[in-house]
Amino acid sequence: MQQEPPPGVAQQHFSLYETLEATSYAIAWKDDAKFLVSLAVLPATLLLTLFSKIGHGSNSSNILHLVVLGLSGLLILSAELLNTLLHRNWRSVASQNYFDENGVFMSIFWSGPLLIVFAVALVLVMKDVFQLLELPRKPNRRSPQQQGSEKAETPKASQ
């Protein structure tokens, strides 16, 4: 059910662009630069870690992909708790209270980049799984010509 606006207040609908534009104007970019950069450092580090191990195909890169997938998932799940904690203590990290009850700020600036990391890690884990599933099949795959030549080469038992 949709909530009705209070009496005397017109209901407004905003496009995504208008919402993002209003959000960008509401943020004190200069005053809170350290805080905003610190929010971006962890997802950027995780993403760079993933990209540094693409194509290695080793067990360590497979494990790294799984660790980043799990870690980014846990960090996304922690967004609500982080929002609650930062809502209570916002003066220690920012010049204004960005942490609303619905967690919109944390969804955009924390969970959004982590969802990108999660998606990349998921694709890489799926790629690793498919590569591991193909390993046992590769030696058994032979062309029909190879199978025919093997039959001709096997010596027949003498009678």
3-state DSSP assignment of residue 2: coil
C-alpha dihedral (113, 119, 124, 129), degrees to nearest 10: 150
pLDDT band at 128 (very low <50, low <70, confident <90, very high): confident
- Long-range contacts of 84-89, Cβ-Cβ distance < 8 Å, separation of 24 or more: none
Amino acid occupying residue 24: S
- Cβ atoms 83, 157 nearer than 8 A: no
pLDDT band at 83 (very low <50, low <70, confident <90, very high): very high
Q: What is the pLDDT of residues 115-124, one digit of tens each?
A: 999 999 999 9
pTM, rounded to two decimals: 0.68
Q: What percentage of the chain has pLDDT greater than the value 90?
A: 31
CA–CA gap between residue 25 and residue 47 (Å, rounded): 28
The residue behind tokens 């450092």 is: 41
CA–CA gap between residue 156 and residue 151 (Å, rounded): 10
